Amino acid sequence: MFYKSTRNSNVNVSSAQAIAQGISEDGGLFVPSEIPALTLDEIRQMGDLSYADRALFVFSKYLTDFSGAEIRYCVDGAYNTKNFDSENIAELAHLFDGTYMLELWHGPTCAFKDMALQILPYLLTTSIKKIGTDKKVVILVATSGDTGKAALEGFKDVEGTSIIVFYPEDGVSAMQKKQMTTQEGSNVGVCAIKGNFDDAQNGVKAIFTDAATGKELADNGMMFSSANSINWGRLAPQIIYYVSTYAQLVKEQQIDVGEPINIVVPTGNFGNILAGYYAKKMGVPVNKLICASNANNVLTDFINTGIYDRNRQFHTTISPSMDILISSNLERLLYLLNGQNDAQIREWFGALAKDGRYEVSDEVKKALREEFCAGFCDDEQTKATIKEIYDKYSYTCDTHTAVAVKVYEDYKKATGDDTVTVIASTASPYKFSGSVLSAIGADAGEDEFDKVDKLAEISKLPVPESLAGLKNKAVRFDKTIDKADMKKFIFESLGI
């Protein structure tokens, strides 16, 4: 197994190199040269393992240059009850007949990003050792709210690393902002930018792939890497929970081994749902992957028409982690669906950069429709869904998860498909207390922590300690800059 670039199939690097580097020099994303297979028997047997052991098994198929002991060190460091408030790491809640909520937010920052970002520092520091560099790794992150905090928690005070996070000034929830601006650790930097998530992500990508900047950094004994889902080390851990969930459903006799399931994912950068696609291609029986978007419905249109067009209004919604018009990981999917044709990827993504638009071939359109379904909903529908789920099932879900529930309800109505379905629940409702309370029709005034208390009262969910503890934390990072000044901020933070 080796890793290629979506923009140059001749690139041939180890998984350690791909993870350490984050993104290929040509601007492409690293993908494994083949998708390893799991047999149904292997998947069934995983049901008897702990989450860390399930992870070990799946990682061993992708990180073929890692020793068993190295993978063991990584999974044990990440997937334990010191970091997660559930022994199962991810919880599966039965919502209603044949429909399950895969709760991916039991980690330290209460969003699904922890599933990958708790292990990424272990994978990355191990990779750095393996490739024999003595450079300090500078992790650059663009965040729509959740990745930033999860990456900061994962990398804070990790030796040999620094981490710098950029978030859109007006594009994150009050709790998300509080989580990031109060971040502790001696190797961390956080900064707001004037612009939206796409501006932050484009800024980071440009800095990453600028050769002169890379050289300046190297001259100072440092190198960049990424904790965004452009890094394979972010994506691989996300495949695991889909395999694990299937094994769990079989173990609990909710499905027979071999029986297909649907997977519904509230989507932004297309990382989480792409991990579901990889799980399917590895052998997990999946019928449809259902891609749910908010009012920023560029992916809904793309999956339905084959035309990707980012030339549209950007909406700031109550599901901010999905307020994205350029979904990076689509590049990996298109590379796979189009016979690993790197020239075609260069053409399409060149057009995206230049004109904001590309149209895929008829074969790719067909493949897209075979594997995926897509839908979207607006803020009003999101809120109505939170209320409906709360009233009907006494289950409180966050705004992102509600988008997925609504799109799934629409899908079910339109198709009559009654396949067992797993909905990825991507954040704790406490991260978006204000929106969730207003959806349910409760009021708690303006103070964020009054809202948390109120939500605890009506949801009966325990308040995560990490969020409750923010109340008395001092703000350490309050800077807002123009997006043109990102590089300057980085170099200043690093003392260059």
Please report how close the Cβ of residue 463 comes to ligand PLP at its closest, in angstroms.
18
According to CB under 6 A, which residues from 107 to 136 bind ligand PLP?
111, 113
Kindly name the residue from 4, 61, 82, 113 that is annotated as catalytic: 113
Taking CB atoms within 8 Å and a gap of at least 24, the contacts of 104-107 are: 104/241, 104/424, 104/425, 104/426, 105/398, 105/425, 105/426, 105/427, 105/428, 107/83, 107/150
183, 426, 433, 459: which one binds ligand PLP (CB under 6 A): 426
Q: What is the largest CA-CA distance in the chain?
A: 61
Which one, 400 or 451, has the nearer CB to ligand PLP? 400
Measured CA to CA, the distance from residue 454 to residue 177 in angstroms comes to 20
Encoded one letter per residue, x for contact with ligand PLP by CB under 6 A and - for no contact, window 282-301 reads --------------------
Nearest 5°: CA angle at 227, between 112 and 87?
A: 35
Encoded one letter per residue, x for contact with ligand PLP by CB under 6 A and - for no contact, window 172-211 reads ----------------------------------------
Measured CA to CA, the distance from residue 23 to residue 29 in angstroms comes to 5
CB atoms within 10 A of CB 475: 12
427, 437, 467, 490: which one binds ligand PLP (CB under 6 A): 427
Q: Does position 78 bind ligand PLP by CB under 6 A?
A: no
According to CB under 6 A, which residues from 395 to 424 bind ligand PLP?
400
154, 195, 233, 271: which one binds ligand PLP (CB under 6 A): 271
Please report how close the Cβ of residue 108 comes to ligand PLP at its closest, in angstroms.
14
196, 226, 272, 382: which one binds ligand PLP (CB under 6 A): 272
Q: Does position 266 bind ligand PLP by CB under 6 A?
A: yes
Please report how close the Cβ of residue 189 comes to ligand PLP at its closest, in angstroms.
21
CB atoms within 10 A of CB 69: 8
Measured CA to CA, the distance from residue 416 to residue 120 in angstroms comes to 40
**What backbone torsions phi and psi does residue 286 show, to the nearest 5 degrees?**
-120, 130
Nearest 5°: CA angle at 419, between 413 and 422?
A: 95
Which one, 14 or 329, has the nearer CB to ligand PLP? 329
Residue 277, both tokens = 């696609």
Which one, 106 or 130, has the nearer CB to ligand PLP? 106
Q: Does position 322 bind ligand PLP by CB under 6 A?
A: yes
Tell me the HSE value of 91 on the side-chain side, using a 13 A CA sphere.
15
Residue 355, both tokens = 């004109």
Q: Clarify whether 451 is annotated catalytic.
A: no
The residues binding ligand PLP (CB under 6 A) are 111, 113, 146, 229, 266-272, 321-322, 400, 426-427
